[in-house]
Amino acid sequence: MITAQQTPIGSGFGARTTAAEVVAGLDLSGRLALVTGGYSGLGLEAVRALTAAGAHVVVPARRRDVAQEALAGLDGVTTDELDLADLDSVAAFADRRLAAGHRLDVVIDNAGVMACPLERVGPGWERQFATNHLGHFALVNRLAPLLDGDSRVVSVSSRGHHFSDLHRDDVHYEHRDYDKWQAYGQSKTANVLFAVGLAARGVRAFALHPGGIMTPLQRHLPLAEMVALGWKDEQGNPGPAAANLKTPEQGAATETWAATSPQLADLSGVYLEDCEVAIAVDTSVPPDSRGGYPGGVMPYAIDADAAEWLWAASVEATGVDGFPR
């Protein structure tokens, strides 16, 4: 099922737009945002843009001291402790926010891991699915009382969702051979389906591909693999494909646009890329005929039935449902 909403709107922005450019002219004074992973890479650039426009931003981090050092000198930022792979940590952080009682205008689910070796967390969950999806699912659902019809939840997915649909019979790779890229793709598909599920529950939600960017997200990739991808040469310098990569400021633009743009006021549950609503991939065209690393969103990632299956499975896994239907 392909949503009819996956239609470009003519935003006027593009692949080289920066986060600062999408908030130019916006007054975010009095707005409160929460950005996971907001102390490095794309998250840090999003926080810089949001605070420069007047917003106050809460940045939770597994290593709060590292976050505080990275954010030093930025006005309008509060740090806290949060480990998305630990549901007790998620619950404790959410309880602190609920006790503070401040409504959230924006939640950007920005933190994540990519292509890491197989690792089990919590009750035996595969780390990428646990961190990238289940932790954020539990967090947003626990924060539900702080969200209203004008709040936005933004999930940073990836074009990597093209790598894999959900493995409904074995999402945690307990019975199948582990493939780090397939597992990453599954978790990114879950990010898109989470936005679809939230939209079905009346929450303004978006998922997005930020673009190809060299950030700490690549920390699990060996140099040889980055050389093969053309991102670096054998000495660790930028490779032939590096010219096509975005800067972190450009990579943060789409999540910042999703979080703030009046252009999206009448939309929800759509997948974005390059500060624009992406098209749905025509799967009748063979993959090898789509050219290179094509854009767009895979139909399985915006399927309403798949979103409901994932929601139910996530509620069962986390024990949290802040938006009962």
| Residue positions annotated with a catalytic role | 184
Structure tokens at 201: 């529950």
For the chain, counts of helices (H) and of strands (E)? 11, 9
Which residues does residue 273 pair with via DSSP β-bridges, in sequence order? 209
Cα dist. 192→94, 99, 137, 227, 299 in Å? 22, 30, 12, 29, 11
CA–CA distance, 236 with 137 (Å, rounded to integer):
36
How far is residue 216 CA from its own chain's centroid? Answer: 15
Residue 71 per-residue DSSP state: H
Cβ atoms within 10 Å of 170's Cβ, excluding its own: 11
Question: Do strands 120-121 and 125-126 pair parallel, antiparallel, or not at all (unpaired)?
Answer: antiparallel
Rounded to the nearest 5°, which phi and psi values hold at 294? -70, 155
Structure tokens at 169: 């019979």
Tell me if 132 sits within 8 A of 113, measured CB to CB: yes
Tell me if 203 sits within 8 A of 178, measured CB to CB: no
Tell me if 89 sits within 8 A of 126, measured CB to CB: no
CA–CA distance, 54 with 297 (Å, rounded to integer):
32
Query: C-alpha dihedral over 148, 150, 156, 159, to 10 degrees?
Result: 120
Tell me if 288 sits within 8 A of 174, measured CB to CB: no
